[in-house]
């Protein structure tokens, strides 16, 4: 791993207090921008219950949510483009530059949503502009994941890499939590009519302001790549990345199941509790706020566990458990009678998903060498995430509208089986991954 300074790499005692402090500061600065990125992206999903009718006035609630979910999914389609662009920048210009550029783009997308006129004001142009804003945000988030996962994996010490890299999902989930928390607070002070009329814009304004703050925080980040790595002819290129086809396919398999299960039990779950279980929107928001908070604080625990049992064993636990629990949990949630029961059912699913989320970025970063790491992690993730994660809500609502809602449950199980196959095809990256090889080279005299 390269040093956390801008100068040349030199061997360093991993237990030196000053070195540990530098690593913690780098994790905090990098993850704070990650939190803002994901807050801005997810606030759309949590406020869709209020603004869907403003941009898609025709049809019943399910039809309006389906249209809003379609725009949400479209943002995911830009992720492969964003992952390629920002992955190239991260591998050629450095992780710091790429992460600063990504958060600026997210700020622009959030600000556009905050000031958009509704369908009643400008007609069909309103949903068209909403789509444009989501495409901009999708481009930004597409670049954020791969670069942040790479950076946070590179700055962590080898023996605690699972623990420290888990903070990527602490802040990713924290972004979701902050989004739903803002909504819960607004629900206490504004009526449903006010939220549907103008109140839903407030979270997007907050996101745009927070993105500016994150930009200045990211300016303090130290670079983890070396000049020699960045100037390689194949650095940040698709040709260089495709020299590692096994890594590419394994990451896609992990991401397909990980993204689908993650979005099913987080962003879609609020709508599922309202639209299928018949729960009040405010109660569903409060229930998901509590569940997301617990989910967030569990990530370092599961990350530390992965440092003990290995990445491969963690991924085996994730894939097998999701194949076993998805159908019974979703069936039970469909007829849930009280929010406390709903909370524990959602938490059971989140515990299983945590085997993946806690090491999601790390296990992928360990599969690619430094000169194509950001591109390799981000691009393979973005493709599978767009196909399976971005469409999770849309597919679930489509099956519901068609009268076959339970088919979606088995769809999740089938994709979880793909992750099991990918896990069986991977090495134990804790001992044999490319990040470990970087460590060995750094410590050579």
pLDDT single digits (tens) 260-314 = 999 999 888 988 998 888 888 888 888 988 998 999 999 999 999 999 999 999 9
Angle at 255 between CA 252 and CA 260, to 5 degrees: 130
* Residue 166 near residue 300, CB atoms below 8 Å: yes
Q: How far apart are CA 182 and CA 266, in angstroms?
A: 16
Q: What is the pLDDT of residue 441?
A: 53
Q: What is the maximum alpha-carbon separation in the chain?
A: 69
Please write the tens of the pLDDT for every residue from 218-268: 888 878 888 888 888 888 899 999 999 999 999 999 999 999 999 999 888
Burial (CB count <10 Å: 0-12, 13-18, 19+), residue 60: exposed
Nearest to 241 by CA among 410, 364, 399, 61: 364
What is the pLDDT confidence band of residue 445, given thresholds at 50, 70 and 90?
Answer: very low
Domain boundaries, the chain: 17-225+234-442
Question: Distance from first CA to last CA of the chain, Å, rounded?
Answer: 14
Q: How far is CA 328 from the centre of its chain?
A: 25
Question: What whole-number percentage of the chain has pLDDT above 70?
Answer: 90
Interhelix angle 17-55/267-275, nearest 10 degrees: 40
**CATH hierarchy code of domain 17-225+234-442:** 1.20.1250.20
pTM of structure: 0.81
């Amino acid at each position: 791993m390269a040093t956390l300074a801008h100068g040349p790499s030199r061997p360093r005692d991993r237990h030196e207090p000053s070195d540990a402090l530098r690593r913690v500061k780098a994790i905090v600065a990098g993850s704070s921008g990650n939190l803002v990125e994901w807050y801005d992206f997810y606030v759309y999903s949590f406020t869709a219950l209020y603004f869907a009718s403003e941009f898609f006035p025709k049809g019943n609630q399910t039809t309006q949510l389906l249209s809003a979910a379609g725009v949400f999914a479209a943002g995911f389609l830009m992720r492969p483009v964003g992952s390629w662009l920002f992955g190239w920048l991260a591998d050629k210009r450095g992780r710091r530059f790429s992460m600063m550029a990504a958060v600026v783009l997210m700020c622009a997308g959030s600000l556009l949503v905050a000031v958009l006129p509704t369908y009643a004001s400008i007609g069909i142009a309103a949903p068209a502009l909403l789509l444009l804003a989501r495409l901009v945000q999708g481009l930004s988030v597409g670049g954020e994941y791969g670069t942040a996962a790479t950076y946070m994996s590179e700055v962590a010490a080898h023996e605690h890499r699972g623990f420290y890299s888990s903070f990527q999902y602490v802040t990713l989930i924290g972004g979701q939590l902050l989004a739903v928390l803002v909504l819960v607070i607004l629900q206490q002070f504004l009526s449903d009519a006010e939220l549907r009329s103008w109140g839903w814009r407030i979270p997007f304004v907050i996101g745009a302001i927070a993105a500016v703050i994150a930009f200045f925080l990211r300016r303090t980040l130290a670079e983890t790549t070396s000049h020699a790595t960045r100037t390689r002819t194949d650095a940040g290129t698709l040709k260089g990345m495709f020299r590692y086809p096994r890594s590419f396919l394994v990451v896609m398999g992990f991401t397909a199941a990980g993204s689908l299960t993650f979005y099913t039990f987080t962003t879609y779950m609020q709508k599922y509790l309202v639209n299928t279980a018949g729960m009040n929107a405010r109660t569903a928001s409060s229930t998901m706020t509590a569940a997301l908070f617990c989910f967030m604080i569990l990530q370092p625990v599961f990350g530390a566990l992965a440092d003990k049992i290995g990445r491969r064993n963690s991924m085996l636990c994730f894939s097998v458990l999701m194949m076993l629990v998805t159908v019974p949990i979703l069936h039970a949630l469909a007829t849930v009678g009280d929010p406390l029961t709903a909370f524990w059912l959602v938490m059971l699913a989140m515990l299983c998903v945590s085997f993946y989320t806690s090491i999601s970025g790390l296990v992928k970063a360990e599969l690619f060498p430094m000169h194509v790491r950001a591109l390799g992690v981000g691009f393979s993730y973005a493709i599978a995430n767009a196909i399976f994660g971005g469409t999770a809500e849309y597919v679930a609502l489509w099956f519901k509208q068609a009268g076959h809602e339970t088919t979606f449950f088995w769809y999740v199980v089938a994709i979880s089986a793909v992750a099991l196959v990918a896990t069986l095809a991977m090495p134990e990256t804790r001992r044999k991954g490319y990040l470990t090889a970087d460590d060995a080279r750094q410590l050579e005299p």
